[in-house]
Structure 1
Amino acid sequence: MSSGDGPGPGLSGNLVYLLKHAHLRMAELTANAVTPYGIDGRELGVLLSLAGREPASQQEAAQRLGIDRTTMVAMLDALEGKGLVSRHPHAQDRRRNVVELTDAGRETLRLATDANDAAEREFLTSLTPKAAEQLRNSLQKLVLPPDD
């Protein structure tokens, strides 16, 4: 390896650099994995946040993902245009829109999740299974709120 290759010693241990480039690599693998199903990685995140729960309002879905309401509306518009989610007024509060996966949305989610899982396995191939589990657990501790 020549002196121009790689990040160099100053960056190779820098956590921000490492997390950014790990994210970029994982995002690329995810995009390649889910594109055949007509969605991108962000849309997969929205579908995952809606799956297996009671129907959520647009605002609740945005809060789950930590994104602003305007961005969520645009993403839901796109997913609704693809026939993957439906929105309708809440039964008790007509001011709230409830968002649900359609049958096509559930099937797309199933296929895209399988493809994404394969992309994650590819991303983690240089780690032992134990190290991969430790990485996931450590990131969960850093990112997710603690259980009470």
Structure 2
Amino acid sequence: MSEIEKVQLAQDTGFLLARTSGLIVRVTNAYLARHDLRARHFSVLSYVCDLDGASQRQIAAFLGLDPSPVVALIDTLEAQGLVERLPHPNDRRARLVAPTPAGKVLREQAKQDVRAAREQFLSDLSPQERELLLDMLRRLAFTDDETANRREP
């Protein structure tokens, strides 16, 4: 019996998801380093590019993060000239985080490296397994409020 088979933690879905997440983030960070980005920065940049702007609250909710680390991520992207904070058109108290033209260009360049990182990381899976994994993860990650409430203790 191998060590992996002996260790109960290696049979735990939560542990395996967390470990897998950490591994793919490390690979992705290595690919994104040439752009002076990390996976979380790319996620914020990509999200605001897709929506052509979003509030910090929207960004935090989509990424599943507390708002305070999101502020730091946005600060870094803003300092690099990749996003800007603008007045929110519908809420005077909120700011809209929008991509700059340089941010849109960098996002397109970085997308290629994110794809390469994913290809490297998932190379042991067949195309059908990759699609199944993506579908299952999407269903788990993006649930409606009723389903999400049933998952909390």
The two structures share one fold, judged by TM-score above 0.5: yes
Q: Is the 8 A contact 1:34 1:115 kept in 2?
A: yes
Flag structure 2 segments of 5+ consecutive residues without an equivalent: 145-153
SS in 2 for 1:138: helix
Q: Measure the CA separation in 2 of the matches of 1:69 and 1:139.
A: 23
How many angstroms does 1:99 deviate by?
1.0
Q: Deviations over 1:83-142 (max 9, x none)?
A: 100112224543221111011111111111110111111111111111111111111111
Residue 67 of structure 2: aligned partner: 69
Residue 82 of structure 2: aligned partner: 84
Residue 7 of structure 1: aligned partner: 4
Alignment CA distance shift 1:16-1:113 (3 Å) = same
Residue 16 of structure 1: aligned partner: 14
Q: Which has the higher helix share?
A: 2
Cα RMSD (Å):
1.9
1:32 aligns with 2:30: yes
Q: Is the 8 A contact 1:49 1:65 kept in 2?
A: no
Taking structure 1 as the reference length, the TM-score comes to: 0.85
Which of the numbers 98, 108, 111 marks the counterpart of 1:110?
108
2:4 is aligned with what amino acid? Answer: P
Q: Deviations over 1:52-88 (max 9, x none)?
A: 2142222222222222222222111111001100112
Q: Matched residues, percent identical?
A: 30
1:70 is aligned with what amino acid? Answer: S
Residue 55 of structure 2: aligned partner: 57
Residue 47 of structure 1: aligned partner: 45
SS in 1 for 2:51: coil
Flag structure 1 segments of 5+ consecutive residues without an equivalent: none
SS in 2 for 1:98: strand
